[in-house]
Chain A
């Protein structure tokens, strides 16, 4: 990983600003972020002006920018709260996007070194993924590791990795009931591994610390499922989980890989799990339907792009999940709207900023 050479103009760092004062966040990340271009999207529901320290190459998008691009009706439906980051994905022209929640700071690894979250994500995306057979020594491409005995040679080329999902020390991405039951629990276990999530295996894709190859999988990371009581804490959302499962299905269908594991970020304390529990109960209930749905989705062979796949899934969501809850019908409509936007706005060719 240490020999990963990242060209500065290959990466956009997309930050959803749910709090107005980004000073300490940006200072904490300065050493890692400052060489890259940043896209900061202000939550349209946030009224205060953003405070951003000097010395960053960045663009800021606010409610008026979003309104201008998509129309104010769509703004509130698609891009409020955590979902405002997707507008950043739409605006980006870079090959890779790295997106971190604004309540996270750099973590330290087992040796006490600061984790370069961008370098690790880009390494994950650059090295092949191996979704068709599990390697018991995890990532076979990193230094000091390889494929183990019994791993078929024809599968050792791997496939393109489209999505890299990192993890969190301190406040892990647990749901509200779990955190409320174990209020003292903090994640202190640094697991030194990256692994490919096998094909046809579903997982909860947390949006807190992700990176992806924009042109390849961007259309499948969308603002879709908005809870009735969706709030400004991760406990009060499942939009990333819904979109993430869709993205995994798309990756499986298109023969792309998804990795999970390193890098870690340090997630700071915020919110009250018990309070969020009152709102998040809806999300917990919906996951019971969402997961079996995605586990059985099979896409047509004719769907050869991420856009095609998402549109097909949107149809299925409407038909199969819509009848049980209107939230799914709205999600399906949002997915269709998103693809329209993506085709109109985002699918310009990759060019240096």
Chain B
């Protein structure tokens, strides 16, 4: 009888390789992927190329990916393409739309691998997966943070009936080095760097809003995908740098309504590039004023009991946006319409039976061998 060699190391299979897509919006290049290779190489990437579609984005060899530029967005969505932003990283949500996977991890192309206080490189993707696969606890605050983490638990006084938690829909990671500040704060504190490693994951309590940053974000697409619309930003729009904020407020309200959880904290990544604060100020300017009305709006939103799916909640939300924020600026009327268009696009693209969508997966094969697969230059055929 053959015995397995005791010297052969057990191969650790990265979790969820068939169930998770990594979505990356980019306008420049994807050199940053080199550093992430050990952590990303087993996963499928969806690259959303913003800006000039004639430009070729170089993807480092050995990654399995599909790439969409603006022409692809227009071809696939037709008139509904109007809901996808141009010249803003908000375009990333197109990647969420066309993904066929259960989970999404999205990351900015100026984010690199950080090190924890022991000097070990942080596998941000693995941490997001852990966050998403363990429950959240939005109904009662645990003072020792995530009770499902190794070495932690629920504290004295935490009701046992609440210890099962709820499914986690969103995992919001943080950033060392350049923190995610708005333009005014960047202008006042140009040299501030985030050097504090806070070793915690926690659930954001129910009915509490937060600013969701899209730089380092994981979510369960089946649970909350339709609400991950990043709004109308960038070219031709009066506002920018509020895309992820908008998605986060919508998602949180819907998660609260549907009994889903949102976590924040680990993992950290290293954010390397500080964008120009003067450019940012111009983009954010209206947002800074508008958010004074937007926040009370979201804090007061009540979704009817009849809304039991994310899509229903989102359509209802769009109606309330139109009604309550419309008077603030016409932009919100247009945004509310775009929210509806997005849901229509989502349902259209995602209602296809699985067999059809598999046959339209990109021609490039998933690499099982050591030979790197062919580069994918053009988009897959539209369905």
Contact = CB atoms under 8 A, between A and B. Distances in A.
A172 B242 CA distance: 40
B301 to A, nearest CB: 15
Interface stretch (A12-20, A61-69, A184-192, A299-307): A184-192
Contacts, number: 169
Interface residues of B, number: 58
A150 B295 CA distance: 10
Contact of B140 (A133, A146, A203): A203
Interface in A162-181: 165, 167, 172-175, 178
A234 B209 CA distance: 34
A136 B213 contact: yes
A29 interface: no
Nearest to A149: B182
B185 interface: yes
Contacts of B212: 150
Contacts of A201: 140-141, 205-208
A145 B154 contact: no
A221 to B, nearest CB: 15
A188 B151 contact: yes
Pick from B140, B174, B244 the residue with the most CB of A within 10 Å.
B140
Given A146-B181, A146-B189, A260 B143 contact: yes
B194 A173 contact: no
A204 B156 contact: yes
Contacts of B302: none
Nearest to B197: A192
Interface string B227-248: 0000000000000011011001
B179 A193 contact: no
Interface string A23-56: 0000000000000000000000000000000000
Interface of B: 117, 140-145, 151-162, 172, 174, 179-182, 184-185, 189, 192-200, 204-213, 241-242, 244-245, 248, 264, 284, 288, 291-292, 295
At the interface, is chain A mostly helix, strand, loop or mixed?
Answer: loop
At the interface, is chain B mostly helix, strand, loop or mixed?
Answer: loop
Given A172-B153, A192-B199, 15 more contacts: A148-B211, A149-B284, A152-B295, A174-B154, A174-B155, A175-B154, A178-B153, A185-B153, A187-B144, A189-B199, A191-B200, A192-B196, A201-B206, A206-B156, A241-B156
Interface stretch (A89-97, A284-292, A310-318, A319-327): A284-292
B151 A145 contact: no
